[in-house]
Structure 1
Amino acid sequence: MLSRRSVAVATMFLGIIYLAFISLGIPDSLLGSAWPVIRPDMGASFGFAGILSMVVAGGTIVSSLVSGSLVQRLGTGKITLISCCLTAGALLGFSMAPSIFWLVLLAIPLGLGGGAIDAALNHYVAENYKAHHMNWLHCFWGVGATLGPIIMSFYMVKHNSWRDGYTAVSMIQFTLAIVLLVTLPLWKRIAVSREHERLDSMIPQDQVGPELKQPAISSKANVLQIKGVKQTLIAFLFYCGVESTVGLWGTSYLVGARNMTAETAAGWISLYYGGITMGRLITGFITLKINNRVLIRCGQIIAIAGGGMLLLPLPQLFLVGLILIGLGLAPIYPGLLHETPTRFGRDNSAKLMGYQMAVAYTGTTFLPPLFGLLAAQTTIHAFPFIVIAFIILMMMSAEKVNHILNNQTKSTGINC
């Protein structure tokens, strides 16, 4: 058992991790909210924001792929600190950039820092905290993503400057970096304490329920050879694909296919994001009673039902459908992340977490533009069908993983 002081330190430290995820979400929404002002100031084309986003995503994918090796070599605390300094410096550079060329260069460290800290923190929480904390962690990312446009809007309205907005966010990041530096020794201490707690409370296999029984998985140099990993990566690809596609093209669908005004449509899409954020807050409490596998499956069914409502002619129903998609998606991403050490072994989780992040960002980067090309050649009315198809492909992949794990459990002699 942990002492009261150890519990208090672990709880305080968890608060720091939550703050880190808020700070991770803030920059993600800055570019979109500031671009209408940045574009004329920099003399850039309207579509150049897409290039900047691609550069950021490219850096994120690269750092996610190598994050597992870096975490094993340097530790989560140092990686988080270095990544925070990278993003803070890049954001400060954005505020002083004299031309669009510098924004492109600065987008590289911004992506590298964001991907590394994302993968490292997800791995740390998956290994050292319970499932509800993973859901709340990603809920706090949503808080940060919501704060980003608010901060930028304040500085554009009050100070008539997008640069001041980036400066303010960079100062938030630098402040977090100082906190991370001061608390650096705690990262390993908390992990060791959690490991001792885990060993002390270990339950014999014959007393464990079927849903919690997992076969032992050895460490592998190539984690892609582990059964179920490839299917899990496909689930991450389509999860982020559908989340981003709804966010990027939902407004266009409501305007083009449902004859809404752009302002009204944007409001409903904000409720879609609100559904994800609130869903993760609520799911955090539900995980105290229901395991991740059940929640992931229920979320996928709810999301499919929401996608089906987009096809119905009644305005109230297809608008409710958007909220249902958000609520359904809420438990899936954090649930899949938190299951990583349990499903594929603690020794493999750091490297695999990075791979999952990389594939997730690949889905975010490429699947929404692919739908855009499809819609340009056909019609925006295809939107609900593509959304449903993405969710079904994600669900099929996740269920395939469950099937593989069930077979592995039976083959080890565990009687389910």
Structure 2
Amino acid sequence: MEEGVYLATWFLIIIYLAFISLGLPDSLLGSAWPVIWPDIGSSFGAAGIVSMIIAGGTIVSSLVSGSMIQRWGTGNITLFSCILTAGALLGFSVAPSMLWFVILAIPLGLGAGAVDAALNHYVAENYKAHHMNWLHCFWGVGATMGPIIMSTYIANQNSWRGGYAAVAIIQFSLVLILLATLPLWKRVAAARKLEHSKNDELVQGDQLQAETMAKVNVLRIKGVKPTLIAFLFYCGVEATVGLWGASYLVGARSITAETAAGWISLYYGGITVGRLITGFITLKVSNRLLIRYGQVISVVGGVLLLLPLPISFSLTGFILIGLGLAPIYPGLLHETPSRFGRENSAKLMGYQMAVAYTGTTLLPPAFGLLATQTSLTLFPLVVIALLAFMLLSAERVNFILNKHSKADL
């Protein structure tokens, strides 16, 4: 028993490390883009193209991750995905032109999507709810470290390439850890299989129920469609702020590139700290309230960006947006079984992640196109609009479910 707990603890640490590595590349492009695009002879709005390709790769790999996990196992998929992302980041550090950014965005997106789906599925199935919040908290650790590393290299060496190379080295270090601990994945998987075999009758009953419910079109379940819309706008606004926040600060508020990158790291820091806190208070406060409070806080942060206040209020606005966004994504994921039935949750998880990645794919480049044609000063207005759509969609779900539960009484 003690050995099992020991293995599970070490295994969880490895999963957390993998999610740190997943977050590291997500914030690099936006924080460094103000100095990248003039250096490689590209255009300001081209970051949206790279972001769209990366997010498109995550959609493809997340949709096929289920069959890949069954065939090769979570450990092998995680290892291979980290090799893909590490190699892509190393390529970014020496990329001579925009064409290479476009090419390298493909393996970066494919690797990120596969490891994201694999680890989310594994933690949701094998660990308690608060571990889901902390899992995404460690993504925030990586996303916060990315701009800090990049701003340090820009400030000290005037080299965004050095920032990408440093993160690639970190990724390759994780690859070595995953390679060395690959047998641990197999041992833990065997232990889980033995544990599940003791509940054969329950499993068979669940499988029979799942087969019965498989014929149901989950998109017709009340509340599912507005939930998917909430996921779309959540990931859209999170990625838009991360990708274009530094460019807005440099272009519209006349802040230096290294300072802007540092401020965006505090935005991701708000997400990280918020998820760490959320993991502790989920036992006291319902997910529904946490999601609602988070949305209100993020809207307040957006308003601070919009108002003509001293520049320090913009920093506060970015931090509040991050803190507000923190509980929303893991909270919505965790609510899936209780809202729409455990028998439907597996299929809905896949739909939710695919729609979320679609928001990441389409909305940031859409703002890049808008800003190129008009002005970066529209950034706060766009952020508030996306937050408002997310809030309205999430509250629409609550209204539908409350109405449905009253009708059942």
TM class by shorter-chain length? 0.7 to 0.9
- Report if aligned partners of 1:240, 1:361 keep a CA contact under 8 Å in 2: yes
Mean Cα deviation higher: 94-103 or 68-77: 94-103
Tell me the TM-score normalised to structure 2 length. Answer: 0.79
Q: Measured at CA, do residues 174 and 334 of structure 1 come closer, stay the same or move farther in structure 2, by a change above 3 Å?
A: same
Match of 1:322 in 2: 318
1:139 is paired with a residue whose SS is helix
- Report if aligned partners of 1:84, 1:176 keep a CA contact under 8 Å in 2: no
Tell me the TM-score normalised to structure 1 length. Answer: 0.78
Letter aligned with residue 122 of structure 2: Y
Letter aligned with residue 179 of structure 2: I
Q: Percent identity of the aligned residues?
A: 67
Residue 140 of structure 1 deviates from its aligned partner by 1.0
Letter aligned with residue 336 of structure 1: L
- Report if aligned partners of 1:228, 1:401 keep a CA contact under 8 Å in 2: yes
Residue 20 of structure 1 deviates from its aligned partner by 0.8
Mean Cα deviation higher: 114-123 or 65-74: 65-74
Take 2:134 and 2:300, find their aligned partners in 1: how far apart are those partners?
A: 24
Mean Cα deviation higher: 300-309 or 273-282: 300-309
Q: Measured at CA, do residues 383 and 50 of structure 1 come closer, stay the same or move farther in structure 2, by a change above 3 Å?
A: closer
Take 2:399 and 2:275, find their aligned partners in 1: how far apart are those partners?
A: 26
Take 1:410 and 1:186, find their aligned partners in 2: how far apart are those partners?
A: 47
Match of 1:303 in 2: 298
Counting only pairs closer than 5 Å after superposition, residues 250-289 of structure 1 correspond to structure 2 as: 250-254=245-249, 259-262=253-256, 266-289=261-284
- Report if aligned partners of 2:304, 2:314 keep a CA contact under 8 Å in 1: yes
The CA RMSD measured in Å over matched residues stands at 4.0
1:339 is paired with a residue whose SS is helix
Letter aligned with residue 283 of structure 2: L
Task: Give the aligned length.
Answer: 397
- Report if aligned partners of 1:298, 1:328 keep a CA contact under 8 Å in 2: yes
Take 2:323 and 2:30, find their aligned partners in 1: how far apart are those partners?
A: 24
- Report if aligned partners of 2:30, 2:245 keep a CA contact under 8 Å in 1: no
Match of 2:381 in 1: 385
Match of 2:136 in 1: 138
Letter aligned with residue 362 of structure 2: F
CA deviations over 1:70-127 (Å, ceiling 9, x no partner): 4455543443233234334444555677876555444322211110111121122222
- Report if aligned partners of 1:126, 1:339 keep a CA contact under 8 Å in 2: no
Letter aligned with residue 169 of structure 2: A
Match of 1:207 in 2: none
Match of 1:128 in 2: 126
- Report if aligned partners of 2:30, 2:246 keep a CA contact under 8 Å in 1: no
Match of 1:117 in 2: 115
1:183 is paired with a residue whose SS is helix
Structure 2 unaligned spans of 5+: 201-210
- Report if aligned partners of 2:303, 2:384 keep a CA contact under 8 Å in 1: yes
- Report if aligned partners of 2:129, 2:334 keep a CA contact under 8 Å in 1: yes
User: Which one of the candidate residues 329, 338, 362 is aligned to 2:334?
Assistant: 338
Counting only pairs closer than 5 Å after superposition, residues 218-257 of structure 1 correspond to structure 2 as: 218-220=213-215, 223-254=218-249
Mean Cα deviation higher: 145-154 or 60-69: 145-154
Take 2:302 and 2:158, find their aligned partners in 1: how far apart are those partners?
A: 42
Take 2:308 and 2:95, find their aligned partners in 1: how far apart are those partners?
A: 48
Residue 64 of structure 1 deviates from its aligned partner by 1.7
Q: Measured at CA, do residues 242 and 195 of structure 1 come closer, stay the same or move farther in structure 2, by a change above 3 Å?
A: farther
Match of 1:293 in 2: 288
1:283 is paired with a residue whose SS is helix
| 1:172 corresponds to 2:170 | no
Residue 409 of structure 1 deviates from its aligned partner by 4.7
Residue 172 of structure 1 deviates from its aligned partner by 1.9
| 1:368 corresponds to 2:364 | yes
Q: Measured at CA, do residues 96 and 381 of structure 1 come closer, stay the same or move farther in structure 2, by a change above 3 Å?
A: closer
Structure 1 unaligned spans of 5+: 200-215
Residue 231 of structure 1 deviates from its aligned partner by 1.9
| 1:108 corresponds to 2:106 | yes
Take 2:305 and 2:69, find their aligned partners in 1: how far apart are those partners?
A: 42
Q: Measured at CA, do residues 7 and 196 of structure 1 come closer, stay the same or move farther in structure 2, by a change above 3 Å?
A: farther
Take 1:409 and 1:242, find their aligned partners in 2: how far apart are those partners?
A: 31
CA deviations over 1:304-332 (Å, ceiling 9, x no partner): 23233334444365543332222111110
Q: Measured at CA, do residues 195 and 322 of structure 1 come closer, stay the same or move farther in structure 2, by a change above 3 Å?
A: farther
CA deviations over 1:217-253 (Å, ceiling 9, x no partner): 9345754344433222211111112222233344455
Residue 256 of structure 1 deviates from its aligned partner by 6.1
Take 1:311 and 1:95, find their aligned partners in 2: how far apart are those partners?
A: 35
- Report if aligned partners of 1:68, 1:354 keep a CA contact under 8 Å in 2: no
Q: Measured at CA, do residues 223 and 66 of structure 1 come closer, stay the same or move farther in structure 2, by a change above 3 Å?
A: farther
Q: Measured at CA, do residues 383 and 20 of structure 1 come closer, stay the same or move farther in structure 2, by a change above 3 Å?
A: same
Take 2:74 and 2:115, find their aligned partners in 1: how far apart are those partners?
A: 8
